[in-house]
Structure 1
Amino acid sequence: MYTFEIIVGTTLGSAEYVADHLAEKLIEQGFQVNIHLDPKLESLPIDSKHPWIICTATHGAGDYPDNIAPFALQLQQSSPDLTRIQYSVIALGSKSYDQFCNAGHMIDRQLAKLNAKRVTKTFEICTLETPIPEDAIDGWYPQWLNNWL
């Protein structure tokens, strides 16, 4: 059984709400979940039983939110071997910006570069189209879960 490590990048709280909603669904299925609001590479297990879910908003001009930026920098600077990590990315943003969901796509590219295994393509949530972003998880979750079972 997996223990999902949900790594959250949030500025205004939407990504945290999405992560909490996803965690509830995973727990209902019997999985264990750890949510990381201040993620640090050294506090995350790097093995096949602890898949990572990155749930991040995009801040400013396509940047990482402040709470996840140090983690992204850690990945870049230390270049850990993540071949044992499976991951998914949930990216939040507004299509009114040129850099829609850019933080999610940047972390996805970084994880792939470090040999982590992407389970599904990045799930984008537009906060203009989905005013309550966690509602988007309900439609996405069943198909996503099939990739893990």
Structure 2
Amino acid sequence: MYTFEIIVGTTLGSAEYVADHLVEKLVEQGFKTNIHLDPKLTDLPINKNNPWIICTATHGAGDFPENILPFTQQLEQNSPDLSNVKYSVIALGSKSYDQFCNAGHMIDRQLAKLKAEKVAITLEICTLETPIPEDMIDIWYPEWSQNWL
């Protein structure tokens, strides 16, 4: 049974709300979860039984939120072999910006470069089109969970 590591990058709280709703869904199905609001590479297991789900907003002009930036820098500096890690990305942003969901796409590329295995396409949530972003989890989750069961 998996224990999902939920890595959150948030500025105004939307990504955290989305992550919390995802945790509810996972727990309902009997999975264990750990949520990381101040993620550190040393706190994350690197194995097949602890998949990572990155749930991050995009801040400013396509940047990472401050709370997840140190984690992305640790990934870059340490270049760990993540070939035993399965992951998914949930990216939040506004289509009114040129760099829509850029933080999610940047961490996706970073994890792929470190040989992590992506399990599903990135869920992009536009906070302008979806006033309650966590509602998108209800739509996305059934298909996404089939990749894990």
Q: Same fold (TM over 0.5)?
A: yes
Question: Counterpart of 2:23?
Answer: 23
Distance in 2, Cα, partners of 1:138 & 1:12: 21
The offset of 1:121, in angstroms, is 1.2
The answer to whether residue 139 in structure 2 is matched with residue 144 in structure 1 is no
> CA RMSD of the aligned region, Å?
0.3
Question: Counterpart of 1:9?
Answer: 9
Distance in 2, Cα, partners of 1:61 & 1:102: 9
Amino acid at match of 2:84: R
Distance in 2, Cα, partners of 1:136 & 1:148: 19
Amino acid at match of 2:59: H
Question: Counterpart of 1:62?
Answer: 62
| Secondary structure, aligned partner of 1:30 | coil
Question: Counterpart of 1:99?
Answer: 99
Percent of residue pairs bearing the same amino acid type = 79
The offset of 1:123, in angstroms, is 0.6
Unaligned stretches of 5+ in structure 2?
none
| Secondary structure, aligned partner of 2:128 | coil
Q: After TM superposition, what 4+ stretches of structure 1 lie above 6 angstroms from structure 2?
A: none
Unaligned stretches of 5+ in structure 1?
none
Distance in 2, Cα, partners of 1:42 & 1:147: 27
TM-score of the aligned structures, taking structure 1 as reference length: 1.00
Amino acid at match of 1:80: P
Question: Counterpart of 1:128?
Answer: 128
Distance in 1, Cα, partners of 2:100 & 2:8: 17
